[in-house]
């Protein structure tokens, strides 16, 4: 997304976004108070920040194989990039790893799936928030995946299983072996059709309390189109748009409603 487009989309988002004072849903109000507005400095934040700082200082070159939208029409694209650049370009930003930590800490999911590990910054936030959960994460690029794995081991994040390979190959078999999923983070291959395909596959595994989080919902026209379709899906009850992240819930007790929240 070019810079001007991105600024225009953000301005339009800010115009529509509302604060907690306009929210009548107790579920969403509680989410704002306990997650978005939780200003506590959790000790886990310093572990996440140290992990990021370590990556930012690491100039080691890694062969990156990109299966996602970056590859354009090709199946994948391969190039060398140093760890620091990968962390800056692909890794989740500090405030959002903290936010993901708080979302998981608040909802306490037991079965977690992530599409797109990269260096494992978001995965680490899941493990710190839910050390008792079972976390599966998929990454297509073996170079970055081994760095993530190294860090999971170093930090004793023992509840993370990393699967190396394309989502297209790994996801169907992985889902077959799983019961329901409580939390899924979609953070790779930002193409509309691919995002909708992963959504449909994971939809087969939702329960009443499942949460899906989509990263970069305004990254491109395609991603915004995918987000529009996802939030209007009949199984989705509540959707929350935070601009960087789109969150959907499947709670039957909540009326169907879309929220655009100031964050």
**Which of 90, 151, 195, 237 is the binder for ligand SAM (CB under 6 A)?**
90
Decide whether 23 or 87 has the Cβ nearer to ligand SAM.
Answer: 87
141: contact with ligand SAM by CB under 6 A: yes
Q: Which stretch binds ligand SAM (CB under 6 A): 27-35, 40-48, 105-113, 164-172?
A: 164-172
* Separation CA 87–CA 52 (nearest Å): 7
Identify the residue among 28, 32, 48, 66 touching ligand SAM (CB under 6 A): 66
Query: Least separation, in Å, of the C-beta of 96 and ligand SAM?
Result: 8
3-state helix, strand, coil in the chain (%, to 5): 45, 20, 30
CA distance 153 to 158: 7
What token pair was written down for 83?
A: 């760890």
From 20-28, 63-71, 204-212, 228-236, give the range in contact with ligand SAM by CB under 6 A: 63-71
Determine if 210 is a binding residue for ligand SAM (CB under 6 A). Answer: no
Given the rule CB under 6 A, which of 24-32, 172-180, 183-191, 219-227 is the region that contacts ligand SAM?
A: 183-191
Number of residues that bind ligand SAM (CB under 6 A): 22
State the CB neighbour count (10 A cutoff) for residue 225.
15
Cα 245 from Cα 215, distance rounded (Å) = 5
Return the residue of 129, 136, 157, 188 that touches ligand SAM, per CB under 6 A.
Answer: 188
166 sits near ligand SAM (criterion: CB under 6 A): yes
Is position 135 an interface residue for ligand SAM (rule: CB under 6 A)?
no
Contact 139, 162 (CB under 8 A): yes
CB closer to ligand SAM out of 23 and 184: 184
DSSP state, residue 159: T
Residue recorded with tokens 């189109």:
225
Residue 236 — φ and ψ, nearest 5°? Answer: -85, 130
Distance between terminal CA atoms of the chain?
21
Phi-psi region of 120 (alpha: psi -120 to 50; beta: other; left: phi over 0): left
Q: Which residues bind ligand SAM (CB under 6 A)?
A: 66-68, 90-92, 116, 118-119, 121-122, 138-141, 144, 166-168, 187-189
């Amino acid at each position: 997304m070019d810079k001007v487009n991105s600024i225009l989309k953000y301005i339009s988002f800010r115009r529509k976004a509302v604060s907690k004072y306009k929210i009548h849903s107790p579920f969403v109000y509680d989410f704002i108070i306990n997650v978005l507005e939780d200003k506590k400095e959790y000790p886990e934040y310093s572990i996440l920040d140290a992990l990021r700082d370590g990556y930012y200082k690491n100039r080691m070159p890694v062969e990156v194989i990109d299966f996602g939208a970056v590859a354009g029409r090709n199946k994948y694209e391969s190039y060398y990039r140093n760890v620091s650049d990968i962390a800056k370009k692909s890794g989740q930003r500090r405030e959002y790893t903290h936010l993901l930590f708080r979302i998981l800490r608040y909802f306490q999911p037991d079965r977690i799936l992530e599409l797109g590990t990269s260096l494992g910054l978001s995965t680490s936030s899941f493990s710190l928030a839910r050390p008792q959960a079972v976390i599966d994460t998929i990454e297509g690029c073996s170079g970055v995946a081994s760095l993530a794995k190294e860090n999971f081991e170093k930090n004793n994040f023992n509840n993370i299983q990393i699967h190396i390979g394309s989502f297209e190959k790994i996801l169907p078999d992985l889902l077959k072996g799983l019961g329901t999923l409580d939390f899924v983070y979609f953070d790779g291959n930002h193409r509309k059709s691919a995002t909708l395909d992963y959504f449909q596959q994971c939809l087969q595994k939702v329960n009443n309390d499942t949460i899906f989080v989509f990263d970069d919902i305004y990254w491109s026209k395609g991603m915004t189109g995918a987000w529009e379709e996802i939030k209007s899906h009949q199984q989705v009850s509540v959707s929350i748009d935070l601009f960087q992240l789109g969150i959907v819930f499947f709670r039957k007790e909540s009326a169907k409603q879309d929220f655009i929240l100031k964050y």
